[in-house]
Amino acid sequence: MNGPDILVVDAGSSSLHLTVLGADGRERAARHLTEPPGPETADTIEDFLRDAPPVGATGHRLVHGGPHLLRPTIVDDDVRAELDRTARLAPLHMPPALTALDATRALLPDVPHVVCLDTVFHADLPLAARTYAVPREWTERYGLRRYGFHGLSYAWALQRTAGLIGRPAGSLHVVLAHLGGGCSVCAVRDGRSVDTTMGFTPLEGLVMSKRSGSVDPGLLLWLQTSAGLTAVRIEDALNHESGLLGLSGMSGDTRDLVRAGARGDSKATFALDVFAVGVRRGIASVAASLDRIDALVFTGEIGEDQPEVREAVCSGLGVLGITGGLTEGNPPEDAVVSPRGAAVPVLVIPTGETQQVAAETRHTLTRRAEDR
C-alpha cells in the first residue's frame, strides 16, 4: 500500500493526541498529552514533528460539522470560518480542536489538512429521527436538528463488527454503544445511522462522566425561574459537575467507582446503577428503529475497558434478547464476549478513531485527485 504518512490530531476538552500513521495503518510516532490545547500547543506540535517521520497530510478529528460540512473536507479559509460558526454548538470540544488545527496549519502550510467530523456518520438520519418537536419557526430560523456524535468511532466499529461476524456492513442491523468520557448509543440499519441518543449538542442522551445527559427541560426552566440559577451556571454544572461525578461526589471515572463500590461505597454503587439504567434505556430506545439486532457492540474507554459496566448493562436487557454472563476481563482485540449460542452476540471493539481519521483523510485526498 502506497501513500504518505498521515498526522492525526485529536484534540479534546482535556487532552491532545498526536499520531503519525503509515499507509499500512501502523503507528510510526505518537504523543499523548492529558492537557487540552492552549498557548503552548504550537511548540508541542513542532517538537513532536521534529522527531516524527515527514507527513504528507494531516487529519483532524472534530466533534461538530454543523449543517454544512457533511463529509470529510479539506480546510481552506471558507471551511475554517464555517468551523468558527459551528464552535458554539460544542463549546467543550470545538475551541481546543480549532486551536490545534490552527497551530498545525501554521506549522505545515504546504500539506493538506482534512477535518474529519463526528457528525458526518449521522448526516442522513431519517427526517423523523432528527427533528425536534418544537415550533417549526424555530427549526427553520435556527437550524435546529439532532446531529449525533461519536461518528468516527461508530464508523470504525461498524466495519470491524462486519469483519468479526463475517457479514457485510451494509446488511447489518446493530446497536453500537460508545461509552467513555462522553457516551452515546447509535442504531445502524443496513450500514446507515438511523437513530442516536446525542442530538443538537453532545450534552443530550446518556449519563456521562461529568455531563448530565438528558434531563427534563422543565427542570432546567424551574432552576432558572424559581431557583434563580443563571443559564451560564446551569450550562457549567451540566457539562462539568454532573454525570457520574455529580452522582458519586467523588469521581467521573468508572474504574474509581467500581473500586469504591467494592469497598462498600454506596454512592459509587448508586452512580454506576444510574449509569447502567441510562445506557439500557438508550439501547432500548434506538433499537426501536431496527427490525432486529444482529449484534450489540461496546466501544470507547468504558465500553472496552470496564467489564463490570458491560455486564450490568446486558444483564438488564432480556427484553431485547440480550443477556449477561459475559466473558470476564477485557479482550486485547475485537472479540465476541457473550456466551456461545447467545441470541444476540455482544461484541467489544477497541476504539479506532485515530485509524478512522487517517482512512478518511486518505480517501478525501484520493477523491480530490480523481476530481482534478
Q: Side chain identity at 65, as an amino acid letter?
A: G
Cβ-based neighbour number of residue 81 at 10 Å: 10
Contact 13, 96 (CB under 8 A): yes
Q: Side chain identity at 39, as an amino acid letter?
A: P
- Nearest to 73, CA basis, from 113, 106, 131, 24: 113
The DSSP-derived string for 5-34 is: -EEEEEE-SS-EEEEEE-TTS-EEEEEEES
**Cell 438488564 sits on residue:** 316
How far apart are the C-alpha atoms of 103 and 41, rounded to whole Å?
7
Q: Look up 118 and say whether it is catalytic.
A: yes
Contact 171, 183 (CB under 8 A): no
Structure-block grid coordinates of residue 184: 452515546
**β-bridge mates for residue 184, sequence order:** 178
- Nearest to 142, CA basis, from 92, 73, 70, 201: 201
How far apart are the C-alpha atoms of 304 and 180, rounded to whole Å?
9
- Nearest to 145, CA basis, from 65, 87, 242, 71: 65
Q: Which residue in 47, 77, 102, 118 is the catalytic one?
A: 118
- Nearest to 250, CA basis, from 234, 265, 235, 264: 265
Contact 30, 51 (CB under 8 A): no
Enumerate the active-site residues: 118
